[in-house]
Chains A and B, each alone.
Chain A
Amino acid sequence: MASKVIPAKTPAETALVRAFEQWRDLLPGDRDVARRREDAFHAFDSAGLPHRRVEAWHYTDLRNLMREAFPLAKAPSAAALQTLEQALANSATALRIVLVDGFFAQELSSALPGGVKVQPLASALSTGRQDILELFAQQGGADPILALNGALMQDGAIIEVAPGAVIEEPLHLVHAFTSPSDAACFTRSTLILGEGARARLAESCEYPSSAATQANACLVVSLADGAWLAHTGAIRANTANSMRFDTLTARLGAGTKFESFVFIDGQGLVRRQLLLCCEGENAEVNLSGVSLLGGQQHADTTLFLEHAAAASTSRVSFRTILDDASTGVFQGRIAVAPEAQKTDAKMLSRAILLSDAAAMNNKPELEIFADDVACGHGATCGGLNAEQLFYLRTRGLKRPEAEALLLEAFASELIDDIGNETIIAEFRRRVRAWLAGRTAASSNHSLERA
């Protein structure tokens, strides 16, 4: 009998086992929830941290990259919450739902308009809301990081929009981190839109603390028939040794419209996962994102989109700019089921490399089992266009200015499609700030050379 080789646990894996043993009885939920946590942890633990031989994680080898697992964050202090409240008061958005160090912060969240209900995940788990547990079970999947989230989820926000409700102002889900020491947090939120409901959700990360973080956040989306959701996320890790895992799962009913745009900058490691299924006919999906990477940063966008019913349309477009020794990953798999005739799917990933030490891994895939579909995918990877640069420079723009203009245009083309002026302005500001940082760094280099 062949013996199965079980690799030794890494220090991070050992620390996660200990964390689960320490926290399993303290995390929210009744016995049913505890059993589900147990199963989820077992699913994670039997596979261990994903590594390069796991196809979906080939380019983000966590077994190698995650050297240690930080302890779970404690509930935030009153002083930290107060500081955060002041910081948030300056931001423009009014309808805030705030998670701090993995906990739902009622006192920082705003009153919400009619048609929207929010409940902390912890209370939903304790009161045994079966509908939520079923939703989680439906959208579970086999991903180890999602399983780990299911085992250790501390809290989150359950957001429900009533059928037919139209929420004009964006709901803002804030992920804040105030822990004074390096810590991990696991949150799981849901967004459930009733039939014909319309809403916009903007997610962002706030790091008033300079401690390193390991955040594992999951958003479970469910759109009933005819619902419309525009989602945006500004996702970042805050230090070179920080990591952020961000998983969005969604099930889309008939005639739904789902958009998601994600902006990634910052430092450290980000893995963004999108696991979507068009279950009803005539769904429309628009997924896009811009990643601006520098230093030793590593950002991975991996998506799996399943067309399970007929006549759905998907548009997938991601752009990455890579400087220094950064690494980018785009993996996109679109699967078209035999019954999903008339599917119209297009996927494109484009990357601009600004440094010889930067690397981009592009892997778009189509898996088509229906015979009457229009599907296409593409990926490009290259430097800035020399013709365009020369043209701009003959008009008087210095090299860094010309580069910045072209890069801003490259990023902004997707940002400008978001459809909300305030959010567009905020992302454009972030692009310019990133470019200004880059230009300042390059003029320092040339001063050093001179």
Chain B
Amino acid sequence: MLEVKHLNVSVSGRRILHDLSLSVRLGEVAALMGPNGSGKSTLSQVIAGRSDYTVDSGDILLEGESILGLEPDQRAAKGIFLAFQYPVEIPGVATLTFLKAALNAQRKTRGEKELATADFVKRVRAAASGLKISQEMLKRSLNVGFSGGEKKRMDILQMALIEPSLAILDETDSGLDIDALRVVADGVNASRSPDRAILIITHYQRLLDYIIPDTVHVMSEGTIVASGSKELAVELEKSGYAAYAPPPAAA
């Protein structure tokens, strides 16, 4: 599904990702763990198509095809979805208006027909109730005045509606209390599917108590330093990240 090959990325001349390789299969839930500043968020933004980063070498393949030349919206239409660490507030754009614009834009890019309003509203209601998102919230400006938990739930709602083939959740657990964490985790678990790859980025093991990953990758100083099964996350929680610092030569 997703293959990151020997990726080197820099921003304003400073190298952030070093020879990073990672692959996630369809149907797999992969966790990417690592300390603050290890480049996890950078990787997620580069996959989503952020233009501030320069890919110096390497490639990112989605279903065998390079996506490096694609715009963020083209990547979205190909099935990539990024849940933001800090979902962006957009004053003046009603949440429902935004959701409809997003769904229809992707359908249009894929050559599908626009959703009828009744059909759209039905889908939103169904997905929103599971995530405890009220109708009132849907009428408000997107993410404006939402609590941290509400913003994260709104991103998960978008994921549920958009039905991506690759979902990247960037620190979705940060800033959530235990109840909100459970609601978000339930939302993610509900979207586990053989037709979807999910990459969860976190620096705590806590979220992985609720969303059990198939694989765990550890990132440090811009590269993957260890990969393993879900037990690796438990081990990390005990030992900390210090043991996984890359050898000095690679830094």
Query: Interface 1/0s, chain B 45-57, versus A by CB < 8 A?
Result: 0001110100000
B interface residues, how many (CB within 8 angstroms): 31
Within 8 A of A (CB), among B50-108: 50, 52, 71-73, 75-77, 80-82, 84, 87-88, 90-93, 97-98, 101-103, 105-106
In the assembled complex, the Cα of A406 lies from the Cα of B141 at a distance in Å of 12
Complex: how many Å from CA A399 to CA B76? 13
The reply to whether A409 and B162 form a contact with Cβ atoms under 8 Å apart is no
B158 interface residue, CB < 8 Å from A? yes
Q: Does B109 contact A (CB under 8 A)?
A: yes
Q: Let me know if A23 is at the binding interface, CB within 8 A.
A: no
Which residue of the partner chain, among B48, B52, B90, B97, contacts A394 with CB atoms under 8 Å? B48
The reply to whether B73 and A397 form a contact with Cβ atoms under 8 Å apart is yes
Most chain A beta-carbon contacts within 10 A, residue among B52, B87, B91: B91
Bound Cα distance A391, B48 (Å): 10
**Count of chain A residues with Cβ under 8 Å from any Cβ of B?**
22
Contact B88 A388, beta carbon cutoff 8 Å: yes
Given known A393-B71, A398-B73, contact A405–B101 (CB-CB < 8 A): yes
Q: Assess A396 versus B73: contact at CB under 8 Å? Given A401-B105, A405-B98.
A: yes
Q: Is A399's CB under 8 angstroms from B77's CB? A: no
> How distant is the Cα of A412 from the Cα of B97 in the complex, in angstroms?
13
Question: DSSP class of A's interface residues: helix, strand, loop or mixed?
Answer: helix
Give residues of chain A (373-409) contacting chain B, Cβ–Cβ below 8 Å: 386-388, 390-399, 401-402, 405-406, 408-409
Whole-angstrom distance between the alpha carbons of A409 and B143 in the complex? Answer: 14
Interface residues of A in 389-433 (CB under 8 A from B): 390-399, 401-402, 405-406, 408-410, 412-413
Q: Which residues of A contact B48 (CB under 8 A)?
A: 390, 394
Tell me, in angstroms, the Cα distance from A3 to B52 when the chains sit together.
61
What are the residues of chain B within 8 A of A402 when measuring CB–CB? 73
Q: A386–B88 Cα gap in the complex (Å)?
A: 10
B102-144 near A? 1/0 per residue, CB < 8 Å: 1101100100000000000000000000000000000001000
Q: Once the chains bind, are A398 and B90 in contact (CB under 8 Å)?
A: no
A contact residues around B81 at 8 Å (CB): 394
> Is B73 in contact with A390, judged by CB distance below 8 angstroms?
no
> With a CB–CB cut-off of 8 A, which chain B residues contact A405?
90, 93, 97-98, 101
The docked-state distance in angstroms from the alpha carbon of A388 to that of B98 is 12
Whether the pair B92, A413 counts as a contact (CB closer than 8 A) is yes
User: Across the interface, do B76 and A395 meet the contact criterion of CB distance under 8 Å?
Assistant: yes
Whether A393 lies near B90 (C-beta < 8 A) is no
The CA of A211 and the CA of B160, in the complex, are separated in Å by 55
Cβ contact within 8 Å between B92 and A395: no
Chain A: minimal CB distance from B155 (Å): 10
Would B101 and A393 count as touching, CB distance under 8 A? no
The 7 closest A-B pairs by CB, nearest first: A409-B92, A396-B106, A393-B72, A395-B102, A391-B88, A396-B76, A396-B105
Contacts beyond the supplied A394-B49, A401-B101: 6 A-B pairs with Cβ under 8 Å: A387-B88, A395-B106, A405-B90, A405-B93, A409-B92, A413-B91
Using CB atoms and an 8 Å cutoff, list the residues of chain A in contact with chain B.
386-388, 390-399, 401-402, 405-406, 408-410, 412-413
